[in-house]
Amino acid sequence: MAKHFGTNGIRKKIKELTPEFVSGMCSSFAETIGKRGRIILGRDTRTSGEMVRGACIAGFLSSGCEVIDLGVVPSPTVEMEVLNLKADGGCIITASHNPPEWNALKFVDGKGLDVSKDRGEEVEKHFENGKFERADWDKIRGVENYSRALQDHEDKIFQMTDVKAIQKKKFKVILDCGNGTTGLIAPGMFRKLGCAILTLNCQPDGFFPGRNSEPTEKNLGDLISAMKNIRADLGIAWDGDGDRVIFINEKAEFIMGDKTFALCAQQEKRKKVVTTVATSNVIKDVSGEVIRTRVGAPYIAEKLFEIKGDMAGEEVGGVVWPEISYGKDGLITAVKMLEFMARNNKKISQLISALPEYHNYKMKVECASEKKKEAMERLKEQIKNAQGEKNYIDGVRIDFNEHEWVIARPSGTENFIRIFAEAKTLEKAEKICKEYEIKVKEIVQKA
Ligand code: MG
């Protein structure tokens, strides 16, 4: 089992992410990608970013790698440049939406795939041994500062978009960058698309003074009230590193991430789509084939690559566009939403409400982390003879019929087992969810 790698790289409070640890991990990663590779480096707006960057560079250079530093950029920009600049790997210094005292190393392999918890074990083996090849004095290479990355990313997005159709509409949009990295690219990009823009928290700031960095409905109160007061066409909010994006419609209503994903797949006519076991069935109704994976961005990316799929996405508000990269890209997703509105001559609420309707209900049951495994085993045993199709890819999912299902899965980071149910009506979703809450509670008590 990986000790340091989690679902999204090595995420820790900065006190634990010491320069020694960071440089050692980067040298360990260098061992796994082959000697003297080219590494694309980028970081988010955190106060610790510059310090961690120094330690990353020391680790990579001492291993004989060449570093191409993009500076402060969104995570999807790094993932794109690994492919674009034909690098051997990448390293993103970002703790995504975590509080400001956190930071993380997210490694990307030469195919542009994030290194998952499973694949991180190999990196950790080198780290634990402490044996890295160190380059000789005459083999140590340098750092190239590459300042075109944001422009490259914008160019790529515009190549894939009907820019003129959007420009004609002169949309009014409110951008909430959450003091993260999208503040460096989004305002300019939406202006070029002919939009009248209003900005919230678009100045990068590692203290995240504007709002909590995760784009949940609770954290987006300011954007939602701005949408109520100003009659804009779309409200857009990113997380700290710009892979996740959430939309607020023209009626100031929050749009769930899986609806955004479904709209992208439907409008772009994507047939072979990858998502997690915890995502709404709406995606099944609007695409062709849906392949489900464990919950976590690296797993959907790996599967998308393996099957050469057309698109991937997660319910938290992230869509992967394989023409650009294998990382979730909140920037192209945002631009595409405007394109869908322009192309169909419809408001965003109309496009979303035209999707097949599903309702969800979520609950959580407290469960100590050491009890999680046994509790899940007991649940599997208990539902063995229950009606419906069972799936154990991640937790326990039961599809009772085409439209109704429930999943119970242990949280990766908190002491909970999460339960999520979906049905055609909210009453039914709630009923299923509560039934399973009772089951799980009983099981946890016994575990
Ligand atoms: Mg993120």
The 3-class secondary structure across 42-69, one letter per residue, is EECCCCCHHHHHHHHHHHHHHCCCEEEE
Cα–ligand 1 centroid distance for 318 (angstroms): 9
Ion ligand 1 nearby residues (CB, 5 A): 96, 239, 241, 243-244
Cβ-in-10-Å burial (0-12, 13-18, 19+) of 364 comes to middle
The pLDDT value given to residue 289: 95
Q: How many CB atoms lie within 10 A of CB 24?
A: 20
Whether the Cβ atoms of residue 161 and residue 337 lie closer than 8 Å to each other? no
Kindly write down the DSSP assignment for every residue of 369-387, as one continuous string: HHHHHHHHHHHHHHTTTSS
H-state helical runs in 6-114: 19-32, 49-62, 75-84
Cα–ligand 1 centroid distance for 129 (angstroms): 31
Amino acid making up residue 207: F
**How many helices and strands, by DSSP H and E, does the chain display?**
15, 20
Can you give the pLDDT of all 447 residues of the chain as single tens digits?
Answer: 789 998 889 999 999 999 999 999 999 999 999 768 999 999 999 999 999 999 999 999 999 999 999 999 999 999 999 999 999 999 999 999 999 999 999 999 999 999 999 899 999 999 998 888 899 999 999 999 999 999 999 999 999 999 999 999 999 999 999 999 999 999 999 999 999 999 999 999 999 999 999 999 999 999 999 999 998 999 999 999 999 999 999 999 999 999 999 999 999 999 999 999 999 999 999 999 999 999 989 999 999 999 999 999 998 889 999 999 999 999 999 999 999 999 999 999 999 999 999 999 999 999 998 999 999 999 999 998 889 999 999 999 999 999 999 999 998 778 999 999 999 999 999 999 999 999 999 999 988
The pLDDT value given to residue 69: 98
Cα–ligand 1 centroid distance for 242 (angstroms): 6
SS3 assignment, position 98: coil
The pLDDT value given to residue 419: 96
The residues with which 276 forms a beta bridge, in sequence order, are 293
The pTM (predicted TM-score) of the whole model is: 0.95
User: What one-character DSSP code corresponds to residue 328?
Assistant: B
Sheet with 311-314, strands from edge to edge, namely 289-293, 272-276, 311-314, 318-320
The pLDDT value given to residue 386: 87
The residues with which 245 forms a beta bridge, in sequence order, are 238
Query: CA angle 255-260-261, nearest 5°?
Result: 145
Just list the catalytic residues: 96
Whether the Cβ atoms of residue 367 and residue 379 lie closer than 8 Å to each other? no
Nearest to 393 by CA among 403, 378, 407: 407
Cα–ligand 1 centroid distance for 428 (angstroms): 32
Residue 135 Cα to chain centre, angstroms:
35
Q: What whole-number distance in Å separates Cα of residue 434 and Cα of residue 95?
A: 33
Cα–ligand 1 centroid distance for 180 (angstroms): 10
The pLDDT value given to residue 330: 98
Cα–ligand 1 centroid distance for 73 (angstroms): 12
**424: which 2 tokens?**
């055609």
Cα–ligand 1 centroid distance for 92 (angstroms): 11
Whether the Cβ atoms of residue 30 and residue 65 lie closer than 8 Å to each other? yes
**384: which 2 tokens?**
């063995």
SS3 assignment, position 305: helix
